[in-house]
């Protein structure tokens, strides 16, 4: 069995590589279109031609999610842990006006502007909503740079490096929450991000285990849990419902819980 140190590294590397592998087929919400693209292909990782309907990058490049994870990882190494001020600086450098994320074509999306589908896909990387709001808040010198309303999935991939580093330590959830609130200061994003960190910690500390989700459900329902969130009980119920669908074919399960 791999050591805890190896599992920490594998979690980070696996997440970043997995993001790059999925990027060419990212955000295809029309299942009929997706099926027409991949056909009977048994291997769809690192699809050679970008079919992403929103942005176009070369195969092998990371999406905005992967770039967030990499930025957190670099900051953790350079600062020997979570340093919020330094992490804010790093995010502004990675996604700001002097980065590859800034271009004439991409600029129209800077403030969540609505544009016609004829403008898509853009050539280059895509800023997600909370990144756009972070840039605005940071440029205005606000101490709290996270969006108060954004509930997108950025809260999960962004915390992988921090959860891997602090897994098993008493301040793990505190450090992870700091990373989440950097760009997402909403209750839902924080609760979901912390639940994902709890789950990753199970696998890092224990290795392959069939009861990891069950353990997290118990944690979320524990009245004495660390970093309690108002939505923890609701998340525990949702995870229980997901477990009931674990033998259901993936596409049907996703359809049941929603594709947003």
Mean pLDDT of 52-76: 96
Q: List the Cα angle 73/74/80 in 5-degree steps.
A: 85
Judge whether residue 115 has pLDDT over 60.
no
Judge whether residue 164 has pLDDT over 60.
yes
Output the six-digit token pair for 17: 């590589």
Is-contact 74 89, C-beta < 8 A? no
Mean pLDDT of 168-184: 98
Span 192-232, pLDDT tens digits: 999 999 999 999 999 999 999 999 999 999 999 999 999 99
* DSSP H or E segment with residue 91: helix 84-95
CA separation for the pair 105, 42 (Å, rounded): 35
Span 92-109, pLDDT tens digits: 999 999 999 987 666 555
* pLDDT of amino acid 105: 65
pTM (predicted TM-score): 0.92
The strand pairing partners of 56, in sequence order, are: 123, 124
Dmax over CA atoms of the chain, in Å, equals 52
- Residues sharing a CB contact under 8 Å with residue 225, sequence separation 6 or more, in sequence order: 219, 232
**Cα 166 to chain centroid, rounded:** 17
Task: Count how many domains the chain has.
Answer: 1
* DSSP H or E segment with residue 243: helix 232-244
CATH number of the domain residue 211 falls in: 1.10.4080.10
* Residues of the domain holding 239: 4-257
Judge whether residue 129 has pLDDT over 80.
yes
């Amino acid at each position: 069995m791999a050591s805890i140190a190896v599992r920490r590294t594998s979690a980070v590397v696996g997440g970043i590589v997995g993001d790059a592998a999925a990027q060419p087929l990212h955000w295809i919400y029309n299942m009929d279109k997706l099926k027409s693209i991949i056909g009977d292909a048994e291997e769809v990782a690192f699809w050679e031609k970008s079919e992403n309907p929103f942005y176009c990058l070369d195969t092998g490049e990371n999406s905005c999610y992967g770039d967030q994870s990499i930025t957190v990882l670099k900051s953790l190494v350079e600062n020997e842990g979570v340093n919020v001020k330094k992490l804010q600086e790093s995010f502004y450098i990675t996604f700001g006006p002097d980065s590859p994320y800034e271009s004439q074509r991409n600029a129209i999306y800077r403030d969540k502007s609505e544009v016609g589908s004829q403008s898509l896909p853009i050539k280059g990387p895509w800023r997600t909503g909370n990144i756009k709001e972070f840039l605005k808040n940071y440029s205005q010198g606000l101490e709290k740079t996270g969006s108060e309303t954004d509930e997108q999935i950025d809260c999960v991939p962004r915390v992988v490096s921090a959860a891997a580093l602090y897994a098993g330590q008493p301040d793990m959830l505190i450090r992870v929450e700091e990373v989440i609130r950097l760009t997402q200061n909403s209750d839902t994003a924080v609760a979901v991000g912390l639940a994902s960190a709890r789950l990753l910690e199970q696998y890092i500390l224990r290795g392959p285990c069939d009861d990891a989700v069950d353990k997290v459900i118990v944690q979320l329902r524990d009245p004495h849990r660390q970093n309690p969130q108002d939505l923890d009980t609701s998340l525990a119920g949702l995870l229980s419902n997901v477990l009931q669908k674990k033998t259901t074919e993936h596409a049907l399960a996703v359809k049941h819980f929603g594709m947003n």
